[in-house]
Chain A
Amino acid sequence: GNSVTQMEGPVTLSEEAFLTINCTYTATGYPSLFWYVQYPGEGLQLLLKATKADDKGSNKGFEATYRKETTSFHLEKGSVQVSDSAVYFCALSDGGTYKYIFGTGTRLKVLA
Chain B
Amino acid sequence: GAGVSQSPSNKVTEKGKDVELRCDPISGHTALYWYRQSLGQGLEFLIYFQGNSAPDKSGLPSDRFSAERTGGSVSTLTIQRTQQEDSAVYLCASSQSFGGAGNTIYFGEGSWLTVV
* Residues of chain A within 8 A of B99, CB atoms compared: 93-98
- The stretch among B12-20, B65-73, B104-112 that forms the contact with chain A is B104-112
Contacting pair B101 A98 (CB below 8 A): no
- Least CB distance from A10 to B in Å reads 11
| Cβ of B104 to closest chain A Cβ, rounded Å | 5
Considering only residues 8-57 of chain B, those with a C-beta below 8 Å from chain A are: 31, 33, 35, 41-43, 45, 48, 50, 55-56
What 1/0 mask marks residues of chain A from 22 to 51 whose CB sits below 8 Å from any chain B CB?
000000001010101000001111100111
Contact code string A90-103 (vs B, CB < 8 Å = 1, else 0): 00011111111111
B1 at the interface (CB under 8 A from A): no
Tell me the minimal C-beta distance from A98 to chain B in angstroms: 4
Which residues of chain B from 77 to 116 have any CB-CB distance to chain A below 8 Å in the complex? Answer: 91, 93, 98-110
A105/B107 in contact, CB under 8 A: no
Query: Number of A residues whose C-beta is below 8 Å from B?
Result: 27
Q: Residue A101 contacts which of B45, B91, B103, B109 (CB distance < 8 angstroms)?
A: B45
Question: Is the beta-carbon distance between A102 and B98 smaller than 8 angstroms?
Answer: no
- Complex CA distance for A46 and B107, rounded to whole angstroms: 9
Check B104 against A104 for contact (C-beta < 8 Å).
no
Write out the residue numbers on chain B whose beta carbons fall within 8 Å of the beta carbon of A101: 45
Nearest residue, chain B, Cβ from A100 = B105
Residues of chain A at the chain B interface (Cβ within 8 Å)? 30, 32, 34, 36, 42-46, 49-52, 89, 93-105
> Can you show 17 pairs from A to B with CB atoms below 8 A apart?
A30-B101, A34-B104, A43-B4, A43-B91, A43-B107, A44-B43, A49-B102, A49-B104, A89-B42, A93-B99, A95-B100, A95-B101, A98-B48, A99-B45, A100-B33, A100-B93, A100-B105
6 nearest A-B residue pairs (beta carbon): A104-B42, A51-B102, A43-B109, A102-B43, A44-B107, A98-B98
